[in-house]
Amino acid sequence: LYPVLARLAARVAGSLEAKELRGKTVTVKARLADFTTFTRQMTLAAPTNSDAAILETAWRLFSKELSPDRSFRLLGVGVSGFLSASLGADAEPEQFQLPLFGEEAYSG
């Protein structure tokens, strides 16, 4: 399963890089053959868009909870807690409220 996680981490990292974002929280989701679902997340010390950092964290979360010998229906890796890659590591995340019913967007 490590190669699958590596592929997923690379895809997430590529998406972050394309959008010039970094994320602070890595999430792993796994659904077993019996439909039992596990979701685990870890907040990193600094935001990242590195596939190696995402993979290392995802593997740590995955291997801590589940045996790779099990049968899986679904495996996912995600990142949240976004920051613009151009901002420093100490910058606060910028939050936006999406427009509702044609109102103007509010940036807070």
The neighbour count for residue 30, using CB atoms within 10 Å, is 20
pLDDT tens readout for residues 20-49: 999 999 999 999 999 999 999 999 999 999
> What CATH fold (topology level) applies to the domain 2-107?
Dna Ligase; domain 1 (3.30.1490)
- Residue 107 pLDDT greater than 90, yes or no: no
- pLDDT category, 88, cuts 50, 70, 90? low
pLDDT, residue 87, reads 58
- Which stretches of 44-89 are DSSP H helices? 51-65
Instruction: Count the alpha carbons within 13 Å of 16 in the hemisphere toward its beta carbon.
Output: 29
What Å distances lie between residue 4 and 41, 64, 72, CA to CA? 18, 17, 12
Calculate mean pLDDT across residues 81-98. 60
Task: Work out the pLDDT band at 102, boundaries 50, 70, 90.
Answer: very low
- Model pTM score: 0.76
